[in-house]
Structure 1
Amino acid sequence: MAAAAATSSYDRLKELKEFDESKIGVKGLSDSGNKTIPDFFKHPPQTLSDVKSKSSEARTKNIPVIDLSKVNTPDHHQEVVNQIKEAAKSWGFFQVINHGVPISVLEKTIEAIRAFHEQPQETKSKYYKREESHGVMYTSNNDLYRAEAACWLDSLKAWMGPKPLDPEELPAICRKEVVAWDLSATKVAETVMGLLSEGLGLAAGKFQELTFSETRVLVGHIYPYCPQPDLTLGITLHTDPGLLTVLLQNQIQGLQVRHDDEWVDVKPVHGGLIINVGDFLQIVSNGEYQSVQHRVVANSCKEPRISVVEFFNLSKWKGDGYYGPLPEVLSEQKPAMYRDFTAQEFFENFYSKGLDSKSLIQKITINYD
């Protein structure tokens, strides 16, 4: 911890509340021109120790890039299924190109999210709140009061389903683009989930049948310039709790993925979309697909890093309201690795603490010893 945090005069909760109630967000702190960041953004040294130390091999790696241009051609379909299955098993992350969304749509979406965040504080503040679960909210660190240290980002969040969001609730400056992006991201997610379903030996429409794309949240992040990037993070390491995540980002690097016990920088591919496996998909696939730790380093560039993330989760499941591994993927040779759990368990686990890695998976893993 910072020296100031160690003194009895430092009132962390008071500083958190002052920052929260100011509604200026990290963007406001960055724009102020201060050369230092508040103490509650400073992460313990052990959390930051491996941010820059990478082997030469890790520096040359990147997550798999998969071309979807021939996904509907009989001669190449199975090849794409195999590529996505392998990437979801071994990396938990991959980029898709030629996914059917025009570059102009990607660029307009990024520009619109940036435009929202670059509005004056008094304009954005009417969306600022802490209550999550529906509608639209603008905030800095949704886990501000639960996390050990805050991260250097602000977020616009919109619950797009299962209850359809009234577009009028969205900020006018990005309304049209957010609605359009939700449709585009959902189409890409449906294509990828069909391929992942086939990779499990199931029908391509299995996850559609389970209404995986109805429950979804769209989040537009900004990672402003940080004057002390070695002392904080953009987002702390975590795994995504849901089923599948679709990520659109600008060309400012920052995302890192854990692979073979090393952090690998994800190099943006122009026109590419990043897909990653969530904890929920690891569970329903009975461990066939793996959710993987990832984080975002604090932005040292004057240009802000923008990312638009859409999280997808299941709406429908067993009639008794429980979730767990799909029965179709279980056998005597591959018994269930995880017990069933309820939606209440899922939400209580997520909202009881800051972002973390596979905590629900750890709680429901079956020990056969």
Structure 2
Amino acid sequence: MASTAQVEVVKSSEDNTLRNSKYVKGVQYLVENGVMQIPDVYAQPPHQRVDATKFESSNEIPVVDLAGLQDDSRSGVLAEIKNACERWGFFQVINHGVPVPVIERMMDVARRFHELPTEEKMAYYSAYQSESPSRSHRFQTIYNAEKQTVLEWRDSLDQKCYPPPEDDKWLKNPIDYRDAAMDYSGEVRKLAKLLLAVMSEGLNLSSDALEKALGDEFGQNFLINYYPPCPNPELVLGVNSHSDPGALTVLLQDEIGGLQVFNEGNWFDVKPLANALVINVADELEVLSNGIYKSVAHRAIRRVGDVARISIASFCNPTWEAKMGPIAELTKTNPPLYKEHLFRDFIRHFRSRYYDGKGCLDNFRLPNNL
């Protein structure tokens, strides 16, 4: 860690105007400038800190070997995935078909981007809420400048993947970023299509039912999260508790760990497995399945240590104009739990608020099912 001048830890009026504050340069900037104690604006309220929440270290998050889909084990693998979607909303997959060199290359360019000089990264900076629809990538350090009162201990790079950006709209530095990102996002897309088909079968629907429900071609973007070492890790969260608003998320995490899932009143570690991918049900998949599959609150903590953590979350989302609601075949014996809506309205509602567990989805439940 750098040993330059300590960042002053004071609470000032600029904490209330985060979009224009010094904190837009991100947490890596603080670390590089020798911060010895976190600024107050990063300190979580006592009841949300890791040591104040129920926590269990567990191996119970399901691990599914997808190689079995190609042999006599197929029915067993289908049952494992269905059970994981119903009980946990999360599972890890191995033998998933994404080549290890593609994974390693993606992690390498992710790290090299986040370790660029701050001013180079700031050339790509944009607040999440800004109106720049043609922009295919943005460097983020504050999730929601209008709503947040406490900042997260992470910097992020948001990249649109599908529909694919034009060649000149990819990040230029690192120089090999575009090729690595295209290869990785293409492999993740193939995996997502496979999983959506398997999940459809688990609902006794045709294998293309869920993918069709997402629109003509589901959207895709990824978020490269970078969690630098923190001098007070017990006071911060890397990502606050939330459920994802789209359909399906595919997460690549390094060996450091920090992802936690909320289940039956406790937080559980999702322990890193080499070259495994973490799959989670997002809100609109819960809607389409009429509550059979569960989206789940999750968060990222920052552990003690001097090594930065990296994760790459790939989001597979309905098209902007897709009409969402429980699939009709699933409401023949059970009444619909959710209002019909356009995905654009759901995502706008999600972006208008700060992370609050499953609060966004709860607002789309039908009144008799609250």
* Both proteins in one fold, TM over 0.5: yes
CA shift digits 1:198-225 (9 cap, x unpaired): 0011111223333565311111110111
Structure 2 equivalent of residue 168 of structure 1: 168
| 1:295 aligned onto 2:299 | yes
Q: Normalised by the size of structure 1, how large is the TM-score?
A: 0.89
Structure 2 equivalent of residue 41 of structure 1: 42
Whether the 8 Å contact between 2:227 and 2:308 is mirrored in structure 1 is yes
Cα–Cα, structure 1 residues 83 and 25, in superposed 2: closer, same or farther, change >3 Å?
same
Structure 2 equivalent of residue 178 of structure 1: 181
Q: Normalised by the size of structure 2, how large is the TM-score?
A: 0.89
Aligned residues: CA RMSD: 2.1
Structure 1 equivalent of residue 110 of structure 2: 113
| 1:232 aligned onto 2:233 | no
Whether the 8 Å contact between 2:15 and 2:21 is mirrored in structure 1 is no
> Could you tell me which amino acid in structure 2 is paired with residue 69 of structure 1?
A
Query: How many percent identity over aligned positions?
Result: 32
Structure 2 equivalent of residue 202 of structure 1: 205
* Partners of 2:320 and 2:34 in 1: CA distance: 48
* Partners of 1:235 and 1:312 in 2: CA distance: 19
* Structure 1 spans left out of the alignment, 5+ residues: none
Aligned pairs (5 A) from 1:77-116:
77-116=74-113
Structure 1 equivalent of residue 270 of structure 2: 266
Whether the 8 Å contact between 2:320 and 2:344 is mirrored in structure 1 is no
Structure 2 equivalent of residue 13 of structure 1: 16
1:50: Cα distance to partner? Answer: 4.2
1:24: Cα distance to partner? Answer: 2.6
> Could you tell me which amino acid in structure 2 is paired with residue 109 of structure 1?
M
Cα–Cα, structure 1 residues 63 and 51, in superposed 2: closer, same or farther, change >3 Å?
farther
Structure 2 equivalent of residue 140 of structure 1: 141
| 1:341 aligned onto 2:318 | no
* Partners of 1:262 and 1:311 in 2: CA distance: 25
* Partners of 1:344 and 1:259 in 2: CA distance: 29
1:357: Cα distance to partner? Answer: 2.2
* Structure 2 spans left out of the alignment, 5+ residues: 1-8
* Partners of 2:319 and 2:53 in 1: CA distance: 40
**Which range is displaced more, 23-32 or 80-89?**
23-32
Structure 2 equivalent of residue 244 of structure 1: 248
* Partners of 1:358 and 1:86 in 2: CA distance: 21
1:10: Cα distance to partner? Answer: 4.6
Q: Name which of 123, 133, 144 aligns with 1:126.
A: 123
Structure 1 equivalent of residue 362 of structure 2: 362
Structure 1 equivalent of residue 6 of structure 2: none
| 1:222 aligned onto 2:226 | yes
Cα–Cα, structure 1 residues 156 and 15, in superposed 2: closer, same or farther, change >3 Å?
closer
* Partners of 1:110 and 1:51 in 2: CA distance: 32
Cα–Cα, structure 1 residues 296 and 316, in superposed 2: closer, same or farther, change >3 Å?
closer
Aligned pairs (5 A) from 1:297-316:
297-315=301-319
> Could you tell me which amino acid in structure 1 is paired with residue 59 of structure 2?
K
